[in-house]
Each structure stands twice: as C-alpha cells, then as structure tokens.
C-alpha cells in the first residue's frame, strides 16, 4: 500500500454520510417503485390499493427531493459508479 494521506474534514464527512444514507433510501425507493409497476402490470391490486400505492410513491418521491435540497444534493449526486457493473441507480 502506498503512503496516500486521507484528509478528513468533519463537514464533508457529515455530508458524505448523509449522501450515503440518501443513496440507500433512493435505492429502496426505486426498488419499491419497480415492484409497484410489476404488481400493476399483473393487475393484482384493487383500485383502492393502486391509489394508495401511487400516493405513497409520490409522497416518498417528494420527500427525497426535499431531503436532497435540504442537504444541498441532487439526485444525480446519490448515484454510485460500480465500475464494470455500471451505475447503482437508474435515472
């Protein structure tokens, strides 16, 4: 291992942690959205369930926008490059 120094700045560390947490929340949100679309395509939801699911996903999407704005992040900032696997999040 080479003698590379890592400079830790408490402000950046906190922002990086928030970014990581929001990345995980966004990943789960996208997975839930895909699951919802699959269930809609299979037509195994009642109209009331479809309405509640759509409303919940819209609220979650809005909350993600608010959290990102509050912490000075964009959704694109949350995406991780997994190298040969490509990006973590779908945009």
At residue 4 the predicted structure's pLDDT band, cuts being 50, 70 and 90, is very low
- The pair of structure tokens assigned to 8 is 């830790």
Structural domain includes residue 66 = yes
Q: For position 82, what pLDDT does the model report?
A: 82
Structural domain includes residue 61 = yes
Range of the domain at 36: 12-74
As a whole number of angstroms, the longest Cα–Cα distance in the chain is 61
Structural domain includes residue 22 = yes
Q: For position 1, what pLDDT does the model report?
A: 41
Q: At what angle do helices 10-42 and 47-70 cross, to 10 degrees?
A: 160
Reported as a single tens digit per residue, the pLDDT across 43-88 is 989 999 999 999 999 999 999 999 999 999 999 888 888 888 888 8
Structural domain includes residue 1 = no
Residue range 30-37: average pLDDT? 93
Structural domain includes residue 80 = no
At residue 6 the predicted structure's pLDDT band, cuts being 50, 70 and 90, is very low
Q: How far is CA 89 from CA 1, 49, 58, in A?
A: 31, 26, 18
Q: How many domains does the chain have?
A: 1
Structural domain includes residue 88 = no
């Amino acid at each position: 291992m080479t003698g590379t120094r890592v400079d830790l700045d408490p402000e950046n560390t906190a922002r990086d942690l928030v970014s990581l947490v929001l990345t995980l929340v966004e990943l789960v949100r996208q997975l839930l959205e895909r699951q919802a679309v699959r269930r809609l395509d299979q037509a195994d939801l009642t109209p009331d369930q479809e309405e509640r699911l759509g409303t919940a996903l819209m609220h979650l999407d809005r909350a993600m926008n608010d959290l990102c704005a509050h912490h000075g992040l964009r959704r694109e900032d949350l995406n991780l490059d997994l190298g040969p696997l490509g990006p973590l999040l779908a945009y």
